[in-house]
Amino acid sequence: MKENWERMKNTSKLNEEEIEQTLKLWKPDLENYQIKELSGGLSHTNYKATFSDHPPLVLRVSEDELNLKMEKNLHDRLDNNNKVPHFFEIIPIKSYKVGVLEWKQGQSVKDLLYRGVSSVQRKLGFSAGVELAKLRSYSFNKSGFLNQSLEVDEVFNMTPESFMKTIDHFLEEYIPKWIEAEFIRKIREFAKERSWLIELDGFSSSLVHGDFNGLNLLGNKGEITAVLDWEFAMSGSLYWDIGNFIRYQSIPNFQHCEKGLVEGLKSKGITLPDEWKQIAQLYDLVALCSMLNTKENGPNRIADLKSLIDQTLS
């Protein structure tokens, strides 16, 4: 999962003095702390702050103030969901904005899944299905991208026509810089042959996490304990998150996790059609092509995205 991906923009980092300034601005009496930079962040830099007399915190550093405000407002909206960290405050430090968040306990679900224990995989899948079902209760009047006030200000409705228009746009813009013409032809052909499946999507416009996979989930003993990193949240179909979650088919025994996911959703009243996996893969094809369609790219990122797209086409 995004192994050794290159960052596509400058790293937003804090030095020791700036970290101390952030903590003092939030709570002047906090002392005796240790700071550790957390791995995995491609858009933000995250630090864990551990104290002798206060629960641990996460410091989330960003140059995108509007997006960070969207995250905070969304965390506030989801505050009754104990799997979502509490977002305390945004602190301005120089050109950065630093989010101060609750630290959640748990192991990376990515690591738990790659151990390949079928019973654990099924439980994690079930728990993930339950968490996705919860998001359906946060509805919107249209689909698209959220502004800082959690309003849809850029509408995107997925239909067979808009699906093909979006795929064609990506395949004609920057993607030709990174993959060969024959591969582009195969993607377009695959998309055209299956675009009709989008009509089977009966889900209304509700909250989508936007990056729902093992890198942004924590777990313990087969249960999801935290859902992190909501920077790509939007309004739309459940299939966006399902497609993301089942993206990494190379995980050992992953079919058990998929079965658990379907069962978890069903336990909350959501029954998927027989074609659910094909529909989810079409949504995720849009996401994968979007990530590949950038002016700048790194070799590891390109190789992984090509491999994931090829897996979808096969």
Element (H or E) spanning 58, and its range? strand 57-62
Query: How high is the pLDDT of residue 118?
Result: 93
pLDDT digit string (tens) for 122-173? 999 999 999 999 999 999 999 999 999 999 999 999 999 999 999 999 999 9
Burial class of residue 204, CB neighbours in 10 A (0-12, 13-18, 19+): middle
- Residues 147/182, Cβ–Cβ less than 8 Å: no
Residue 242 CA: distances (Å) to CA of 128, 159, 232, 265 = 10, 17, 15, 11
Query: How high is the pLDDT of residue 1?
Result: 65
pLDDT band at 32 (very low <50, low <70, confident <90, very high): confident
pLDDT digit string (tens) for 48-95? 999 988 999 999 999 999 999 999 999 999 999 999 999 999 999 988
pLDDT band at 178 (very low <50, low <70, confident <90, very high): very high
**pTM of the shown model:** 0.95
Say how far apart CA 94 and CA 11 lie, in whole Å: 15
| Bridge pairing between strands 223-227 and 217-220 | antiparallel
Domains in the chain: ranges and CATH: 16-102 (3.30.200.20), 107-115+142-250+274-313 (3.90.1200.10)
Residue 75 CA: distances (Å) to CA of 71, 72, 229, 251 = 6, 5, 10, 30
The whole-number average pLDDT for the span 28-33 is 87
pLDDT digit string (tens) for 141-153? 999 999 999 999 9
Helix, strand, or coil here: 262? helix
Of the chain, the end-to-end C-alpha distance in Å amounts to: 19
pLDDT band at 10 (very low <50, low <70, confident <90, very high): low
CA-derived radius of gyration, the chain? 20
The whole-number average pLDDT for the span 1-11 is 69
- Residue 297 token pair: 């790219």
Apex CA 80: angle with CA 216 and CA 126, to 5°? 50
The whole-number average pLDDT for the span 287-305 is 94
The whole-number average pLDDT for the span 198-208 is 95
Say how far apart CA 115 and CA 132 lie, in whole Å: 23
State the chain's mean pLDDT as an integer. Answer: 94
